[in-house]
Structure 1
Amino acid sequence: MELRQLKYFLAVAEELHFGRAAEKVHIAQPPLSQQIKALEEELGAKLFLRNSRNVQLTEEGKYLRKEALEIFDKINNAADTVFRMAKGETGRISVGFMEIAMDSHLPEIIRSFKSDYPDVRVKVSQLGASSQMQKLRTGQLEVGFCSAYKYGLHDLDYKLLFSKQHLLAMPEDHALVAKDSVTLEDVAGERLIIFPRVGHPDLYDSIFAAFHEKNIFPGPAQEVAGISGVTALIAAGMGVSFVPENTRIQRKGIVTRPLADNFPTMDIYMVWKKGEPTAVVSLFLEEVAAFYELESVFASAKHS
């Protein structure tokens, strides 16, 4: 059985007239009749009862008409889905983010993308920078948002989205709360709560380099992952920490002050695997870049 034969069969089944059916499918009537006869022989069943005055469907013909309509519906739906997939209007995309990266406009961008492309399934996972880059390389993730270290991006494509200045966060009863801004000299000797170096080695090193350039040193460092862990320790009076500006601090009893000195920024990158991304991923990357008024991610100067 060929789709062409089913098409001819449906034309006759709808018109119940071989002449009109032949005109509908743009062939002569004799070849159409031959194809219907061949189909009936292949199936071993009469599909039409015909005489000189009319054509009627047999019970077998009625059943085949129903099934044939469903077959063509599925074919049309498949073709439409493939077309939309090629345009990026349907499919799936897996996105990773750091807690600090989502404390920005990224949730709005994802919401807008889902609204523009409701048939695209967006899976979002909270992951550290190292985990994101590992999953990007293995194909478990399509796009990541993180404060990645540049030498860890050598085999990935990336785009700098934005940078955040750091503030000093401290308990509300800390002596430095009385100051409008603080210097690194003010922080010298304070117990510093900081993220582990393994996830952000360049930022970690640049923070301590800023102290060393002034020949001063913070007190013993307490490493903890995630902004929620950092703020928990600050609220408990365990020390002070540098947090990116506009960070939503959920806990009470924490105060921030700007830094008077030059200090490393928290740089947030959009990262994806090298090569030709799918249409869905391409649309998503471009929508994010457009939101931040950046050049196309596929421009010649990709790495900025």
Structure 2
Amino acid sequence: MIETRLLRQFIAVAEELNYHKAATRLHMAQPPLSQAINRLEDKLGFSLLTRSRREVKLTPAGSAFLEAAYNTLKTLDSGVEHARQVSQGSAGKLTITTLSIAYYTPLLNTLRQLREALPKVQLSLKEMPSAQQVQAIMSAQADLAFMRKPPADTPNMVLRLLLEEAIVMALPMDHPRAQTEHIDLRDFAGEDFVFTPHALGSGYHQQLIALCEAAGFYPNVVQEAAQLHTVIGLVGCGFGVALVPASIASSFMQDKVVFRHLLPVTESGNPAIGLYVGWNSHNDSPLIPRFISMLDIHLRPEH
């Protein structure tokens, strides 16, 4: 391994072609500089310079090695600067897993701010169900997750509630109750339902099941779909009805699907669905607190 100090000493001699001037430039005595160049040549196994009383010249190998020395130090300096920026949270990579974010303006605005404020940060977005997001966070495949709350605590998983939204009913446009502004979930005990699979988000899935059970029935799930867009599409073509977060109500297929608010099924009201941000407490990426700080700004009421 060749020390960078030897490379810098060789570059000084190669540029000055004078040991005395090179030593002065390096703030060292001439004899130790000569010895350093000799050690470098011994390490390399070939001569870099020819010396005489009148002049110092680079050998052909010395000229080639000078370019290599320049490139090595340039690469090293660039790498050190990049590492410094990563340590400061102004560069690096941030991997975010998320549910569909099209309906969450604060999160979208935070992503835009991150891109504008930190152009050297490589942002990777991966859509996946909540259960898979937990696995990605715990296996260090992701830094931040925007998901529904898992059914049980996960060691070293930090969870923070960002917002809560109502559960609404998605109905085909031609459903008998499509024109009713507020509907009673109890009236749907005999209906066919479209659900997301339990395995892809057991906490969210169980919350919807519990709401139906509070209304006095267990839903007859005739079809499952991993993505809410697909769930709504299936409702639109007549597969059944679906319980979905209110944020999706203004999304699409409004010519085929209507979204209706639910009357309370208990005296305490209907539970809301939370959107959480999660990360691994052992992940010390400085980009995590920077992103959270930006997100906090966009979650304020004035935004």
Bin of the TM-score, shorter chain as denominator length? 0.7 to 0.9
Q: What is the alpha-carbon distance in structure 2 between the residues aligned to residue 2 and residue 202 of structure 1? A: 56
In the alignment, what sits opposite 1:66? Answer: 67
In the alignment, what sits opposite 1:272? Answer: 279
1:109 correspondence with 2:116: no
Q: What is the alpha-carbon distance in structure 1 between the residues aligned to residue 61 and residue 176 of structure 2? A: 90
The number of equivalent residue pairs is 291
In the alignment, what sits opposite 1:253? Answer: 256
Write out aligned runs for 1:77-116 (5 A). Answer: 77-99=78-100, 101-105=101-105, 106-116=107-117
Secondary structure (helix, strand or coil) at the match of 2:62 reads helix
Q: What is the alpha-carbon distance in structure 2 between the residues aligned to residue 150 and residue 286 of structure 1? A: 27
What is the CA distance between 1:186 and its match in structure 2? Answer: 4.4
In the alignment, what sits opposite 2:130? Answer: 129
Any conservation in 1 of the 2:47–2:59 contact (CA below 8 Å)?
no
Provide Cα deviations, 1:227-257, integer angstroms capped at 9, x if missing partner.
1232122112232222212315433411112
Structure 1 unaligned spans of 5+: 295-304
With 195-204 and 123-132 compared, the bigger mean Cα shift is at 195-204
State the AA in 2 paired with 1:224. Answer: E
Any conservation in 2 of the 1:163–1:266 contact (CA below 8 Å)?
yes
What is the CA distance between 1:199 and its match in structure 2? Answer: 3.9
State the AA in 1 paired with 2:53. Answer: N
Q: What is the alpha-carbon distance in structure 2 between the residues aligned to residue 202 and residue 45 of structure 1? A: 70
State the AA in 1 paired with 2:258. Answer: V
In the alignment, what sits opposite 1:47? Answer: 49
State the AA in 2 paired with 1:270. Answer: V
Q: What is the alpha-carbon distance in structure 1 between the residues aligned to residue 94 and residue 163 of structure 2? A: 22
In the alignment, what sits opposite 1:139? Answer: 140
State the AA in 2 paired with 1:13. Answer: A
What is the CA distance between 1:63 and its match in structure 2? Answer: 2.0
What is the CA distance between 1:278 and its match in structure 2? Answer: 2.2
What is the CA distance between 1:147 and its match in structure 2? Answer: 0.9
Q: What is the alpha-carbon distance in structure 1 between the residues aligned to residue 239 and residue 41 of structure 2? A: 85
Q: What is the alpha-carbon distance in structure 2 between the residues aligned to residue 39 and residue 154 of structure 1? A: 53
Q: 1:50/1:250 Cα in 2 relative to 1: closer, same or farther (>3 Å)? A: farther
State the AA in 1 paired with 2:47. Answer: A
What is the CA distance between 1:207 and its match in structure 2? Answer: 3.7
In the alignment, what sits opposite 1:196? Answer: 197
What is the CA distance between 1:276 and its match in structure 2? Answer: 3.9
Which runs of 4 or more aligned residues in structure 1 lie more than 6 Å from their structure 2 counterparts after TM superposition?
none
In the alignment, what sits opposite 1:222? Answer: 222
Any conservation in 2 of the 1:49–1:58 contact (CA below 8 Å)?
no
What is the Cα-based RMSD across aligned positions, in Å?
A: 2.9
Secondary structure (helix, strand or coil) at the match of 1:278 reads coil
Q: What is the alpha-carbon distance in structure 2 between the residues aligned to residue 245 and residue 37 of structure 1? A: 75
Provide Cα deviations, 1:131-174, integer angstroms capped at 9, x if missing partner.
12123222233322111234244541111111111222211122
Provide Cα deviations, 1:87-139, integer angstroms capped at 9, x if missing partner.
2333323322223x553133443343233333333332221111121232222
What is the CA distance between 1:206 and its match in structure 2? Answer: 4.0
In the alignment, what sits opposite 1:298? Answer: none
Any conservation in 2 of the 1:231–1:249 contact (CA below 8 Å)?
no
Q: 1:242/1:33 Cα in 2 relative to 1: closer, same or farther (>3 Å)? A: same
TM-score w.r.t. the length of structure 1 is 0.81
Q: What is the alpha-carbon distance in structure 2 between the residues aligned to residue 32 and residue 59 of structure 1? A: 21
What is the CA distance between 1:65 and its match in structure 2? Answer: 1.6
Q: 1:25/1:259 Cα in 2 relative to 1: closer, same or farther (>3 Å)? A: same
Any conservation in 2 of the 1:207–1:263 contact (CA below 8 Å)?
no
State the AA in 1 paired with 2:49. Answer: L
State the AA in 2 paired with 1:283. Answer: R
In the alignment, what sits opposite 2:171? Answer: 170
Any conservation in 2 of the 1:207–1:264 contact (CA below 8 Å)?
no
Q: What is the alpha-carbon distance in structure 2 between the residues aligned to residue 41 and residue 223 of structure 1? A: 75
Give aligned-pair identity as a percent: 23
State the AA in 2 paired with 1:67. Answer: A
